[in-house]
Amino acid sequence: MAAAKEPQPLDFTFTAPICKDGAFATYLVVEGSAELLGTRRAIKVTGTLDNKTPFQATLMPSGTGPHWLPLRAALCKAIGKSDAGEQVRVHLQQRLS
């Protein structure tokens, strides 16, 4: 059995519009994520939304290049945004897997 990976620091900030279709009800597209992370596999990350709301999530491969960051209903409520097209600022801080 492989040892658990230590969290790795990330410092990647982007702004993206909320999307509402595909495999997740509400998500953001993380442009350039495959190059940033060096993989197209699912990756667990932590960070903040709109410079204040902490989150932990799994970036999901879209199958076409960039990852998707799913936004759970609780996160949408915390930032006060859930409509398609609303802009969300994301700061990825740690890679957990």
Task: Tell me, yes or no, whether 46 lies in a domain.
Answer: yes
CATH number, domain of 76, equals 2.40.30.100
34-83 pLDDT, tens digit each = 899 999 899 999 999 999 999 999 999 988 889 999 999 999 999 999 99
Number of domains in the chain: 1
Mean pLDDT of all residues belonging to the chain? 90
Residue 90 C-alpha from the chain's centroid:
8
- Host domain of residue 91: 8-95
Within a domain: 3:
no
Q: Tell me how far apart the alpha carbons of residues 27 and 22 are, in angstroms, rounded to a whole number.
A: 9
State residue 25's pLDDT score: 80
The span from the CA of 3 to the CA of 63, in Å, is 28
pTM, whole model, 2 decimals? 0.88
